[in-house]
Amino acid sequence: MDLSTTFRHLEPSDALRDYAHQKVSRLQKFLRQPMEARITLSVEKHEHQVEVQIASGGQHFEAKEASTDMYASIDSAAHKLERQIHDAKGVEGAKRRREPDIRHGALDSEVAVVSGDR
């Protein structure tokens, strides 16, 4: 797991860095492949913005969040990413459970006719 943190327009803080790493590293347990995460913490006017990008295998997830509190922004971005990961897993499972297409079904019936199993 590779985590990198970037601070824009605010002083780097170990407390913020550790909190963001803790929240984002929790997401590794939902992924099959090791993840790489880029966390960007920035302040523009009075708005605290968080941008998190995660790459794991061939999957990419991204969340942006802004609020008046940096910790709340981190929490919200982590929640968005967790929801994206769960939704992606649901799509993968549905693809695996899908019934075989017509081409594969036709082959099975032809084999039954040839072998006389009708």
> Can you tell me the distance from the alpha carbon of 47 to that of 2, in angstroms, rounded to the nearest whole number?
27
Question: Can you give the pLDDT at residue 116?
Answer: 60
> Can you tell me the distance from the alpha carbon of 42 to that of 56, in angstroms, rounded to the nearest whole number?
24
Q: Which residue has the higher pLDDT, 57 or 99?
A: 57
Q: Which residue has the higher pLDDT, 117 or 88?
A: 88
Q: Give exposure, 38-67, as e/b (b: 16+ Cβ within 10 Å).
A: bbbbbeeeeebbbbbbbbbeebebebebbb
Contact 75, 59 (CB under 8 A): no
Contact 50, 64 (CB under 8 A): yes
Name the β-bridge partners of 37: 3, 54
Question: Can you give the pLDDT at residue 78?
Answer: 96
Nearest CA to 45 out of 77, 67, 74 is that of 67
Copy the structure tokens of residue 115.
């072998």
Nearest CA to 52 out of 9, 85, 29 is that of 85
Question: Can you give the pLDDT at residue 91?
Answer: 73
Round the average pLDDT of the chain to a whole number and report it: 86
CA angle in degrees (0–180, nearest 5) for 92-31-34: 130
Give pLDDT tens digits for 59-111. 999 999 999 999 999 999 999 999 999 998 877 666 666 666 566 555 555 55
Domain borders along the chain are 2-115
**Would the pTM count as exceeding 0.85?**
no
Q: How confident is the model at residue 117 (pLDDT cuts 50, 70, 90)?
A: low
Question: Can you give the pLDDT at residue 27?
Answer: 94
| CATH for the stretch 2-115 | 3.30.160.100
